[in-house]
């Protein structure tokens, strides 16, 4: 490992995945060509697409009523595609506003129908996950953001929805064991926790679709991509390949081990933040994210010096999102606990110097 990579996204990938991807970029499957040079309709790539979809369903424990798609456009395109496909102009969808991405999703939905903001933590700088609100059964669907990448909050226990349940899992997909069947549509930009930039995983229950009257552009219609197996047009071949390799890595470890490792990393880092007198957390303890750990310094004027110190010691990507400042350590699946321990040691060392 060259550095300790705490980038928020695009982010760290397993080293074994990078090596296989590098090899495939030179020559794929012994066919005398790079994966970058072959037809997406070749049998070699079809096998990749099929395996990526099958692994997704297997890891999530989902049945055939769910379809797995690999699309371009990022998770941000899903913000609009979801209401375009599911919400009539005169219908209302429910959203919980827990951060920048949740709010952006809500904004796009308003272009297609009515939005009820059922809960929000925006007035409190998104420092907690709202709980205990009512989700009316008259809504067309209910949308939440599982992990708030920028603010460092995450659902630990989801509300129960009486209507179709939609979740943005961009920054915590396959980070823990879950009943994925409780959701009707799951989407995730791959570049945080399950692959590289350029592809978005969408898992959708087919029975949700085909119920709105509006004309949907062919490329924006989920049914097009279901029918064509994510190959209506040229899909992002290489990002899908790297995602498939990452899914193999996830399956091999199993979600139980991945969850245990992620919990251990989060406990170690939050423990240091709470016990080191120089540092403190920024969000409600019960809602702390296991993926993005936000923290600040008691004396905020010391933050640039700490970030510089971390950088000199090969800890990369620790500056908080430009909209919130402070520090953010993203500790996704592929980051080893030794990197977290290294950061904790640096925090101790910094405290000694200042103490």
The residues assigned a catalytic role are 101, 168, 192
Q: How many residues bind ligand PLP (CB under 6 A)?
A: 12
Query: Per-residue DSSP letters for 291-347?
Result: SEEEEEESSGGGHHHHHHHHHHTTEES-BPPTTT-SEEEE--TTS-HHHHHHHHHHH
CB of 317 to ligand PLP, least distance (A): 14
Edge-to-edge strand ranges of the sheet holding 327-330: 279-281, 292-297, 327-330
CB of 184 to ligand PLP, least distance (A): 18
Helix and strand totals (H; E) in the chain: 9, 14
Query: Per-residue DSSP letters for 24-68?
Result: HHH-STTSSS-GGGS-TTSHHHHHHHHHHHHHHHHHHT--TTEEE
Contacting range for ligand PLP; rule: CB under 6 A; set: 129-137, 166-174, 209-217, 331-339? 166-174
Residue 169, classed as helix, strand or coil, is coil
Contact pattern for ligand PLP over residues 110 through 149, marking x by CB under 6 A: -----------------------------------x---x
Contact pattern for ligand PLP over residues 143 through 162, marking x by CB under 6 A: --x---x-------------
| Cα three-residue angle 206-211-217, rounded to 5 degrees | 85
Contacting range for ligand PLP; rule: CB under 6 A; set: 48-56, 69-77, 223-231, 269-277? 69-77
CA 222/CA 216 separation, integer angstroms: 9
192 counts as binding ligand PLP under rule CB under 6 A: yes
128/309 with CB nearer ligand PLP: 128
Token representation of residue 219: 């490329």
Fill in the DSSP letter of residue 159: P
CB of 250 to ligand PLP, least distance (A): 18
- Residues numbered 4-33 forming contacts with ligand PLP, rule: CB under 6 A: 9
Contacting range for ligand PLP; rule: CB under 6 A; set: 167-175, 201-209, 216-224, 274-282? 167-175
CB of 291 to ligand PLP, least distance (A): 9
Please, are residues 143 and 109 in contact by the beta-carbon 8 Å criterion?
yes
195 counts as binding ligand PLP under rule CB under 6 A: no
Contacts of 160 (CB under 8 A, 6+ apart): 135, 182
- Residues numbered 79-108 forming contacts with ligand PLP, rule: CB under 6 A: 101
CB of 289 to ligand PLP, least distance (A): 11
CB of 157 to ligand PLP, least distance (A): 18
Q: What CA–CA distances, in Å, run from 64 to 180, 204, 211?
A: 13, 10, 20
* Residue of 20, 29, 46, 76 interacting with ligand PLP (CB under 6 A): 76
Please, are residues 130 and 103 in contact by the beta-carbon 8 Å criterion?
no
Give the interface with ligand PLP as residue ranges (CB under 6 A): 9, 74-76, 101, 145, 149, 168, 170-171, 189, 192
């Amino acid at each position: 490992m060259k550095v300790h990579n705490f980038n928020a996204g695009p982010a760290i990938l397993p080293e074994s995945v990078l090596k296989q991807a590098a090899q495939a970029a030179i020559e794929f499957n012994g066919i005398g060509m790079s994966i970058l040079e072959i037809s997406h309709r070749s049998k070699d790539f079809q096998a990749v697409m099929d395996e990526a979809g099958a692994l997704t369903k297997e890891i999530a424990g989902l049945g055939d009523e769910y379809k797995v798609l690999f699309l371009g456009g990022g998770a941000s395109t899903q913000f609009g595609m979801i209401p375009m496909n599911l919400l009539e102009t005169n219908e209302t969808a429910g959203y919980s506003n827990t951060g920048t991405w949740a709010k952006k999703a809500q904004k796009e939905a308003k272009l297609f129908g009515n939005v009820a903001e059922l809960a929000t933590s925006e007035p409190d700088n998104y420092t907690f996950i709202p709980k205990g609100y009512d989700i009316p059964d008259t809504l067309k669907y209910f949308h939440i953001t599982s992990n708030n990448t920028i603010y460092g909050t995450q659902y630990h226990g989801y509300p129960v929805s009486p209507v179709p349940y939609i979740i943005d899992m961009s920054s915590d997909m396959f980070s823990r064991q879950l009943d994925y069947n409780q959701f009707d549509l799951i989407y995730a930009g791959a570049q945080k926790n399950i692959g590289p930039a350029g592809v978005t995983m969408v898992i959708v229950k087919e029975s949700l679709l085909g119920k709105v009257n509006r004309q949907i552009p062919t490329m924006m219609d989920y049914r097009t991509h279901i029918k064509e197996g994510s190959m209506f047009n040229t899909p992002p071949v290489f990002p899908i390949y790297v995602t498939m390799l990452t899914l193999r890595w996830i399956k091999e470890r199993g979600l139980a081990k991945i969850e245990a490792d992620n919990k251990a990393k989060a406990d170690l880092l939050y423990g240091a933040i709470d016990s080191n007198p120089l540092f403190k957390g920024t969000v409600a303890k019960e809602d702390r994210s296991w993926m993005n750990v936000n923290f600040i310094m008691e004396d905020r004027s010391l933050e640039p010096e700490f970030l510089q110190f971390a950088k000199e010691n090969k800890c990369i990507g620790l500056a908080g999102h430009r909209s919130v400042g402070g520090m953010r350590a993203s500790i996704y699946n592929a980051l080893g606990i030794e990197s977290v321990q290294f950061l904790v040691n640096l925090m101790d060392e910094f405290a000694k110097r200042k103490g």
